[in-house]
Structure 1
Amino acid sequence: MAVTLTGDLLQIYDALFTSFGHQHWWPAKTPFETMVGAILTQNVSWTNAAQAVRNLEDAGMFDPHLLTAADTADIARLIVPSRYYNQKAERIREFAGVYVREFGADPAAMAAVETGELRERLLALRGFGEETADTILLYACEKPVFVVDAYTRRIFSRYGLLPEGASYDRTQRLFADNLEEDAELFNDYHAQIVHLGKTICKKSPLCDRCPIREIHGALWCAVGRG
């Protein structure tokens, strides 16, 4: 079963890559920008989060030491486009403080921490769920941790590889248990899933355009069958 499932997952990735090309994620200039971006993009589109990132840059505030010392109200005013800006301002300030105090504001020092230990540290921060923590681990620290989001659950449950309503952990294990640990693969695979979910496998899907409608002649989208 595992070998077949591994092959299916790789064929799905290959079909997505062939159709969409490399996605070049995460769109950030520095690892710290990726970390803050992971907070800003919670419950909002990347377009909105990117505007908040630009606002912080334009104000000269995209520095962990400055954010640690800043008033949360000052941060909040700059990140209004990201929604829930008061909460996110608090999360950014708290995270920046941890990043400075515990890792010396050095992404290499942070990345050197064992993956499980670092994940637990991030999850201990207020407002940090599994997706935010794993986004930082994969895209900022280049650790082979597969990021799961709503698109992942939707697409792979429609293709019968996950039960409907699968948990974050169950969904993550689908990839972690059947693919080699490869940060580069996990990086682009997740980005491909997001692109597919945004453009084709939407709540009202465009099944005739889906590049993974059939894999091995056995996996058919439940929505398309209907």
Structure 2
Amino acid sequence: MRENRFEIVYTIYKILLNYYGHQNWWPAETRYEVVVGAILTQNTSWKNVEKAINNLKNENLLKEEKILNVDEDKLKELIKPAGFYNLKVKRLKNVTKFIVNNYGNTEEMAKTDKDILTLRAELLSINGVGKETADSILLYALDRESFVVDAYTKRMFSRLGIINEKAKYDEIKEIFEKSLPKDLEIYKEYHALIVEHCKKFCRKKPLCDDCPIIVFCKTSLNK
């Protein structure tokens, strides 16, 4: 195959989009809800996060000032379905306090003219916000072209031979950002498509039969 890995990354995006259709991520009603989801989804499934977010919605707490002012014990109880609730309460308060103190709210933060690198550095300075969480907030809450790398991305693209299994986060991120047009919707869709594909085919124990990108796979036994 003569295509280089940058061309293959974009080709795979187009194949997955054609196969699965638009995923329309991130499922949220407000920018701040995305921020909350990005914290709560650390080390847990989205299904569990949805339960926690619904609890917050039922209490009308999905607003920055309300999260800052709510009693920690009550907040722990509400986000319990997402797991690690003692830790996540602190992280949720930390990121919310940063947003309120520096921007007023997430809507205003999204309007800032600061560049991506500055915003990313700010987010990474917050205790409890790592690279994946920061990029999720940048991409889905603040509408900035910052590609999100997660465990699915590493699994899938190491099997495809695009990345080294031990590649670092920023190395992988750079490959995607060099491979793709600087297009917000493509960044959002691709991350969602990777998640969908890994749930359907590229599981821990892969289901290679009928995989739409099997031709690119370096590790499949079914080629």
Normalising by structure 2, what TM-score?
0.94
SS of residue paired to 2:181: coil
Write the distance in 1 (CA, Å) between the matches of 2:168 and 2:24: 27
Deviations 1:28-86 (A, max 9, x none): 00110001100011000001001100000101111110111222222111000000011
Aligned to 1:73: 73
Deviations 1:102-141 (A, max 9, x none): 1111424344232111111111111111000000000011
Deviates more, 1:175-184 or 1:105-114: 105-114
Equivalent residues of 1:103, 1:110 under 8 A apart: no
Shift of 1:4: 3.4
How many positions carry a matched residue from both structures? Answer: 221
Paired AA for residue 100 in structure 2: V
Overall identity of the aligned pairs, in %: 39
Matched, 1:151 2:148: no
Write the distance in 1 (CA, Å) between the matches of 2:131 and 2:151: 12
Aligned to 1:116: 117
The alignment's C-alpha RMSD in Å is 1.7
Deviates more, 1:171-180 or 1:50-59: 171-180
Equivalent residues of 1:70, 1:93 under 8 A apart: no
Aligned to 2:219: 222
Write the distance in 2 (CA, Å) between the matches of 1:88 and 1:111: 27
Aligned to 1:103: 103
Paired AA for residue 221 in structure 2: G
Paired AA for residue 210 in structure 1: C
Aligned to 2:41: 41
Q: Which runs of 4+ in 1 moved over 4 A?
A: none
**Structure 1 residues not aligned, in runs of 5+:** none
Normalising by structure 1, what TM-score?
0.93
